Amino acid sequence: MRIDDLTVRYGAFTAVDGVTLEIPPGRIVGLVGESGSGKSSVARAVSGLVPHTGSVTGASRIQMIFQDPYASLDPRMRVGDSVGEALLHLPRRARAAEVTRLLGMVSLPPETAPSYPRELSGGQRQRVAIARALAADPDLLVADEITSALDVSVQGSILNLIRSLRDRTGLPILFISHNLAVVRYVCDEIAVMHRGRVVEHGHTVDLVSSPADPYTRTLLEAVPRLRR
Ligand X SMILES: Nc1ncnc2c1ncn2[C@@H]1O[C@H](COP(=O)(O)OP(=O)(O)OP(=O)(O)O)[C@@H](O)[C@H]1O
Binding site for ligand X (CB under 6 A): 10, 13, 15, 33, 35-41, 178
Q: Which CB sits closer to ligand X, 9 or 163? A: 9
Q: Which CB sits closer to ligand X, 11 or 91? A: 11
Query: How far is CA 67 from each of CA 49, 73, 91, 162, 189, rounded to the nearest angstrom?
Result: 16, 12, 32, 14, 21
CB of 107 to ligand X, least distance (A): 28
Integer Cα distance of 51 and 44 in angstroms: 9
Integer Cα distance of 38 and 14 in angstroms: 9
Q: Which CB sits closer to ligand X, 35 or 153? A: 35
CB of 80 to ligand X, least distance (A): 32
Q: Which CB sits closer to ligand X, 95 or 178? A: 178
CB of 147 to ligand X, least distance (A): 13
CB of 30 to ligand X, least distance (A): 13
CB of 8 to ligand X, least distance (A): 8
Q: Which CB sits closer to ligand X, 112 or 144? A: 144
